[in-house]
Amino acid sequence: MQKVSFFKSIHVKLVLIYVLLIIIALQIIGIYFSKQLETNLKTNFQDSIRQRIELVHYSVREEMLKIRDENTPPSLEDSLKPILQGFSTEDINKINVVDRHDRILATSEDDQAIVGQRINEEIIQQAASSETLLDKISLDRDTGQRIWILAVPIMDNVGSKEDLKGVIYVQSNIEKVYEQLNEINRIFAAGIAVSLAITIILGILVARTITRPISDMRKQAQAMSKGNYARKVRVYGTDEIGQLAIAFNHLTNRLQEAQSTTEAERRKLASVLSNMTDGVIATDRKGKIILINDPALELLHDSRETTLNRPIASVLRLDQEYSFEDLIHMKDSVNLDFSMNDAPYVLRANFSVIQKETGFVNGLITVLHDITEQEKIDMERREFVANVSHELRTPLTTMRSYLEALAEGAWKDENIAPTFLNVTQTETERMIRLVNDLLQLSKMDSQEYELNLEFVEFNKFFTQIIDRFEMSKSQNVEFIRLLPEKSYFVDIDTDKLTQVIDNIISNALKYSPDGGNIRFGFTVHDNMIRVMISDDGMGIPKENVTRIFDRFYRVDRARARSMGGTGLGLAIAREMIEAHGGKIWAESEEGQGTTIFFTLPYELDEAGDWE
């Protein structure tokens, strides 16, 4: 099962989102509260200082006016000092009274040495010039704490206008306000921390109620992807998540049923494909092979690894003639010629398109059939009909010509008529031999014959046939016998085997030149007698050696026909030898002669009952 990263877990995400929302809300509340608290504290502090400074302003003004009206006034410093010290508290660091020339007239500080000195404060000059109250918050150079500086001009009403008498310069300790604000903020932060801790715990508990069924459904989905449909999701309630869990369990049951049905159909399809004798190939919508059964691989002589994901036109060697779109619209079957040299190999491909209900092409199904034998049979049938027609047409044409000549009066000519009749008789016998050979081949093809087997000594049997041909031969050809002295016995049909050997020797005599040799012999290998008949004739081209046993095949058609051959002798010989359980073949070299071999099973005479 695939593990989910901690920070990617929906449980953690829900808790984080929940906590972040709480933090953002508390942050907004804290900022607003802090700003409002700071504003209120500063406002209260400043209002308190202003109220006291107003009293100081009134007292200082009255004192300065009193001294102006008296003839013998006391010193201004002595009269103002008690007033300023009386208003000096913990909140007010110092109060200075400054005249219009920026000289200190009085101070609330213990150090009275500054009285009479000039004070260089920009706020005093600005308040004096503007004749308005000014204030600012600044840092104390000595303590580094924040102080609130207040400059209040002292005005004297002279006539109809006010005259500036001086400025009251006040430094108040506003740092206590910020310390109080920081303390409140610390308390508020502690409260936020406690609330966050409680919120996180509650968030985890709340998130678990949401994520637990989702986690169960995730585990179930992963189990379903591996084919396990037995596991069910636990239902924790009837809310939306509970209804989702119920629907998920229902979906699991439906998927299990669908999977079972699909698997059964897949097994059926796999069984059908594997047991089909025809090759089946399936492609995707792009023409690449996605499925191929074993018979198709055998027909194509290819492996599954090299065919899958390859274009079907390339695998079938049709890419030079057809594209995949052409194959989709192909209505007729296509013959695939995989022949090599003298080995014919032809397949037939039928194409069927896989389409969805919307008509969208989803792939292509190709069925392959091996039609090599069928094509070969069709070709042999056509060739057989053509050969038979040709073989019969030649004598029939000759006979018609001579019979027409006889009918026109040639029969009255005693010199010409016998010759014409002799030719007609010869051609008639030739057609009879041809028809008899065809009937004999037909019986062999349909298995409508029986072998009359006899247990004979092959040495004597073979020698008698050779003697018969040696006594009746007309050519100057020498017979050479290479026969073993030991006797070998075979179970054969003597009539049919005599016909085979007669045909082979007749061919050897036909094609042997005067003064040539014909060699006869046989050897024994693995309980088989291998018979050899060899001549010194014109031989057979190498590419035609394997075809001389085909029906109507002649190496030299003109010469063979002139010698009366039908082209069926060796074909009959092959059928008869194979019926005896043997094989027949030829070895030849053009200009060097031909050797015919055939084999027969034999039995060794161990008891010595035969002579």
What's the confidence (pLDDT) of residue 427? Answer: 75
Q: Report the domain count for the chain.
A: 4
Q: Is the pLDDT of residue 487 over 80?
A: yes
List the Cα angle 132/138/140 in 5-degree steps: 125
The answer on 151 and 129 residing in a single domain is: yes
Percent residues over pLDDT 70 in the chain:
86
User: What's the CA gap between 240 and 94, in Å, rounded?
Assistant: 71
Helix, strand, or coil (residue 234): coil
**pTM (two decimals):** 0.42
CB 569 within 8 A of CB 584: no
The CATH number linked to 124 is 3.30.450.20
What's the confidence (pLDDT) of residue 555? Answer: 61
What's the confidence (pLDDT) of residue 562? Answer: 46
CB 170 within 8 A of CB 95: yes
The answer on 358 and 298 residing in a single domain is: yes
586 vs 563, residue with greater confidence: 586
User: What's the CA gap between 48 and 51, in Å, rounded?
Assistant: 5
The answer on 157 and 67 residing in a single domain is: yes
CB 287 within 8 A of CB 370: no
What's the confidence (pLDDT) of residue 327? Answer: 87
Q: Is the pLDDT of residue 289 over 80?
A: yes
| Residue 249 counted as domain residue | no
CB 322 within 8 A of CB 330: yes
Domain end point (choices 370, 389, 412) = 370
The answer on 432 and 504 residing in a single domain is: no
Beta carbons within 10 angstroms of residue 26's beta carbon: 19
Q: What is the DSSP-derived secondary structure letter of residue 411? A: G
What's the confidence (pLDDT) of residue 611? Answer: 37
| Residue 41 counted as domain residue | yes
Model confidence over 225-281: pLDDT tens digits? 777 777 777 777 777 777 888 887 888 888 888 888 888 887 887 777 777 778 888
| Residue 53 counted as domain residue | yes
Q: Is the pLDDT of residue 392 over 80?
A: no
Q: Is the pLDDT of residue 558 over 50?
A: no
User: What's the CA gap between 135 and 281, in Å, rounded?
Assistant: 96
User: What's the CA gap between 35 and 181, in Å, rounded?
Assistant: 10
User: What's the CA gap between 5 and 429, in Å, rounded?
Assistant: 100
User: What's the CA gap between 477 and 533, in Å, rounded?
Assistant: 14
| Residue 481 counted as domain residue | yes
Model confidence over 347-364: pLDDT tens digits? 888 998 888 777 788 888
User: What's the CA gap between 107 and 84, in Å, rounded?
Assistant: 7
Provide the domain limits for residue 414. Answer: 376-445
Model confidence over 331-345: pLDDT tens digits? 888 888 888 776 788
The answer on 164 and 40 residing in a single domain is: yes
Model confidence over 37-59: pLDDT tens digits? 888 888 888 888 888 888 888 88
Question: Torsion angle, CA of 268/269/271/275, rounded to 10 degrees?
Answer: 140
Q: How confident is the model at residue 437 (pLDDT cuts 50, 70, 90)?
A: low
What's the confidence (pLDDT) of residue 369? Answer: 86
User: What's the CA gap between 586 and 546, in Å, rounded?
Assistant: 7
What's the confidence (pLDDT) of residue 531? Answer: 93
Beta carbons within 10 angstroms of residue 144's beta carbon: 8
The answer on 393 and 306 residing in a single domain is: no
| Residue 431 counted as domain residue | yes
CA 6 to chain centre: 32
Q: How confident is the model at residue 561 (pLDDT cuts 50, 70, 90)?
A: very low
The answer on 160 and 120 residing in a single domain is: yes
The CATH number linked to 587 is 3.30.565.10
The answer on 518 and 482 residing in a single domain is: yes
What's the confidence (pLDDT) of residue 572? Answer: 78
Among 139-143, 150-154, 228-232, the range with the most confident prediction by mean pLDDT is: 150-154
Q: Is the pLDDT of residue 2 over 50?
A: no
Q: Is the pLDDT of residue 532 over 90?
A: yes
